Structure 1
Amino acid sequence: MSVTDPIADMLARIRNAHQALHDSLEMPLSKSKAAIAGILKDEGYITDYSIEDAKLVVKLKYSSGKPLVAGTKRISKPGRRVYVGVSDIPDVQNGLGICILSTSKGILDGYAARSENVGGELLCEIW
């Protein structure tokens, strides 16, 4: 089955698996999804991720039985791309969340994009 927006599909799968209190989930693999999973692991939102048989397997993380990902929001969509400069990178939930950007230096979170002094397409926000 073809998915129009694979990043939105990834965020929805993570949200649904968290609500059902699953330990892990799997989804079709792409380089951008693997890069986003790497950022989520580095920021502590998921335990780990791995690539198995052309699928991305994400191990979810909970704290006191509650998911660490409280919310997600897809910003740039296939019908409306949103680009930001380095000075316009948003603070998500007053610094309690992260934003993920697609830049000329790869897919980065907002803090790394500011330190690299690059802007780009604002993909999503996670808190």
Structure 2
Amino acid sequence: MLGDPIADYLTRVRNAIKANHRVVEIPASNIKKEITKVLFDKGYIANFKFEETGPQGVIKIALKYNPINNLSAITKIERISKPGHRQYVGTDSMPRVLNGLGVAILSTSKGVMTDKEARKHNIGGEVLCFVY
């Protein structure tokens, strides 16, 4: 049993990028699927596929690299809210990642979304991670 499945998800992506893998497989859950959709919508990953194999399923993520210099679209992916120390923010204290160049992924009452979308809907939530 894993202690923090979201940290495991982010670590698998981070390790795959460092090893220059093109595809990474991650055990699926609903929150991981939503984080994957946000990463795809914001252009940090090339593609993804949900496979329903076994009781849990698998998320296959195709990582995005620059064709010229082979650098990943994700420079850094960092867990913010941890099980022992949750980080909740309101709309007034919403974090800005790299002055708006990166995204903070939040879990809100309206679902998983970026900091910009949460500001637009005027809702706060738990800051899951920073991506840039």
The answer to whether the superposition gives a TM-score over 0.5 is: yes
Sequence identity (%): 45
2:107 maps to which residue?
Answer: 102
Instruction: Report the AA paired with residue 55 of structure 1.
Output: V
Q: Which runs of 4+ in 1 moved over 2 A?
A: none
Instruction: Report the AA paired with residue 11 of structure 2.
Output: A
SS at match of 1:9: helix
For 1:87 and 1:39, locate their aligned partners in 2 and report how far apart those are by CA, in whole Å.
Answer: 22
SS at match of 2:32: helix
Q: What TM-score, normalized to structure 1? A: 0.96
The runs of 5 or more residues in structure 2 that have no matched partner are: none
2:92 maps to which residue?
Answer: 87
Instruction: Report the AA paired with residue 11 of structure 1.
Output: L
For 2:2 and 2:73, locate their aligned partners in 1 and report how far apart those are by CA, in whole Å.
Answer: 26
Match among 44, 54, 72 for residue 77 of structure 2: 72
Q: Deviations over 1:8-40 (max 9, x none)?
A: 111111111011111101010000000000000
Matches within 5 A, 1:1-127: 2-52=1-51, 53=53, 54-63=57-66, 64-127=69-132
The runs of 5 or more residues in structure 1 that have no matched partner are: none
Q: Deviations over 1:36-55 (max 9, x none)?
A: 00000000000111111210
- The structure in which a higher percent of residues are strand is 1
